[in-house]
Structure 1
Amino acid sequence: MYISELRKRIGSLPIIVAGATVVVMNEKGEILFQRRSDSFDWGLPGGAMEPGETLEETARRELKEETGLDAGALQLLGVFSGPRYYYRYPNGDEVYNVIALYRARPVRGTLQISDNESIDLRFFGKDRLPRLEKRAAALLEECGEQIWKKERDS
């Protein structure tokens, strides 16, 4: 909501967007990805912070909106920013993202597409990842071993 209102005023100019992304793993150690309706790439559930929200609230809201799942505990895996997290949407909007990456464990609910941002939700293992949207690929590259190792070993 906030970003769309801001876009009405400034158009597609680059903006800095703070937000949260959530890693959800199933019992097989696979990560949940969403196929985006705008680019058709696969990404991790997440999105922009709304005014007055904490990053944790953003993570919980976005996970629920995009997957139908409710997060139990949230573990902060890191905060990421810089040129690797620049993104130009298919409509021309430009953003420099500041992303708080969380792992949600446990999660409850039924996996379902409940917004217009996703066209598919699916779990993928480390050895058979789909074509990832550039921000998701950067997150997995920067802390993927931490994500996969800690989940397996805990």
Structure 2
Amino acid sequence: MSYLSELRAALGTRPLFSVGASAAVQDERQRVLLQRRGDDGLWGLPGGGLELGETFEGAACRELNEETGLDTPLTFWQAVSGPHLYHRYPNGDQVYFVGGLCRGHLPAAALAQAAPDDSGETLELAWFDLAHLPTISANVNKQTLSLLRSEVGLPPLPLDWVPPKPTGEHLRELRAVVGPRPLFAPGANVLLRDEQGRVLLLRSGDMRRWTLPGGSMELGETFEQAARRELKEEAGLEVSELRALKLYIGPAYRFTYPHGDVVDYVSQLFEGQFMGGALTLPADEITEAAWFAPDQLPNAEELSGPLIGANLREWI
């Protein structure tokens, strides 16, 4: 049973994050490979949900093979998130996609060797010119195709209506039902620098270790919205601009909290410039804040896990 299917067995059709990967494969004429889906009969990109421990590239290659029988190297392109990526499947299941878009190329003639698996997910496969697309399924496919269309000067595809953004603490609400089992935790961290090039670190109240401002995404948020909200909640600070640095995902970033909850982080790191203001720390969550010069960072044992270690090691 897949990761998402296991959650559905406990949680029903309620909105969940669907951490997924799409394969944007183009031929020598820049046509895009689309599949006609078995669930709604409409067209979309090959792709699907990640299993715990997978990367976006690995999942995109697996889904491409399962849904088309074809193989080609795929490279990570960009992440997508936000309220417009809500989708309700014909069976009633609701998701907010958090997607990793991957790209690759195949010759047009490769389609003759296509052999989708027998799951029924793929009814038909075809190459389509970006200017002449069929009826597309789900906003996540429309956004991806719009990004491709923008590269050749074509307008974006109109998106479907989306419902109001839900409220509540998504991860906490899931834990109340499924317990400490491993869960994907989409979220964001902020590498905030001051004029001297120092970086802001916060000491967490639960583990007493140093971490970056950041945390889990709520349903309907973008990565950037989550980063801004967490920076405000944890440090009382705002920034005018955030620059995306890298998306971290994969088995290296699994983390077990002291109370036993296990998460597989899907974490976008942003960089921002400190604009002044007083630090305001939530007493129940953050016990201390400090600015660290690049040559005075805490050692690995003082950091709250491999994700924060990688953030600092790669960007400081």
**TM-score, scaled relative to structure 1:** 0.88
Is residue 193–residue 274 contact of structure 2 (8 Å, CA) maintained in 1? no
- For residues 39 and 106 of structure 1, the distance between their equivalents in structure 2, rounded to whole angstroms, comes to 26
> For residue 113 of structure 2, what is the aligned residue in structure 1?
none
Structure 1 consecutive aligned stretches of length 4 or more whose deviation exceeds 2 Å = 105-109
> For residue 38 of structure 2, what is the aligned residue in structure 1?
none
SS in 2 for 1:23: strand
- For residues 109 and 57 of structure 1, the distance between their equivalents in structure 2, rounded to whole angstroms, comes to 20
**1:38 offset after TM fit, Å?**
0.9
Q: Deviations over 1:68-90 (max 9, x none)?
A: 00121010001011122111001
1:76 aligns with 2:244: yes
**1:105 offset after TM fit, Å?**
2.6
> For residue 100 of structure 1, what is the aligned residue in structure 2?
268
1:33 aligns with 2:201: yes
Is residue 188–residue 269 contact of structure 2 (8 Å, CA) maintained in 1? yes
- For residues 274 and 280 of structure 2, the distance between their equivalents in structure 1, rounded to whole angstroms, comes to 17
**TM-score, scaled relative to structure 2:** 0.44
Give the stretch that moved more between structures: 119-128 or 129-138. Answer: 129-138
Alignment-mate amino acid for residue 133 of structure 1: S
> For residue 139 of structure 1, what is the aligned residue in structure 2?
311
- For residues 127 and 88 of structure 1, the distance between their equivalents in structure 2, rounded to whole angstroms, comes to 28
SS in 1 for 2:252: helix
Percent of aligned positions with the same letter in both sequences? 39
- For residues 126 and 87 of structure 1, the distance between their equivalents in structure 2, rounded to whole angstroms, comes to 25
Alignment-mate amino acid for residue 52 of structure 1: G
> Which of 112, 116, 139 is the aligned partner of 2:280?
112
Is residue 194–residue 274 contact of structure 2 (8 Å, CA) maintained in 1? no
**1:108 offset after TM fit, Å?**
4.6
> For residue 45 of structure 1, what is the aligned residue in structure 2?
213
- For residues 287 and 274 of structure 2, the distance between their equivalents in structure 1, rounded to whole angstroms, comes to 24
- For residues 44 and 21 of structure 1, the distance between their equivalents in structure 2, rounded to whole angstroms, comes to 6
> For residue 184 of structure 2, what is the aligned residue in structure 1?
16
RMSD, aligned α-carbons: 1.3
**1:115 offset after TM fit, Å?**
5.2
Is residue 33–residue 43 contact of structure 1 (8 Å, CA) maintained in 2? yes
- For residues 218 and 183 of structure 2, the distance between their equivalents in structure 1, rounded to whole angstroms, comes to 14
Any stretches of 5+ residues in structure 2 without a counterpart?
1-168
The higher relative CO (CA closer than 8 Å, separation ≥ 6) is in 1
> For residue 66 of structure 1, what is the aligned residue in structure 2?
234
- For residues 30 and 14 of structure 1, the distance between their equivalents in structure 2, rounded to whole angstroms, comes to 34
Q: Which has the higher helix share?
A: 1
The 1:52/1:100 distance shift into structure 2, 3 A limit, reads same
> For residue 88 of structure 1, what is the aligned residue in structure 2?
256
- For residues 252 and 287 of structure 2, the distance between their equivalents in structure 1, rounded to whole angstroms, comes to 25
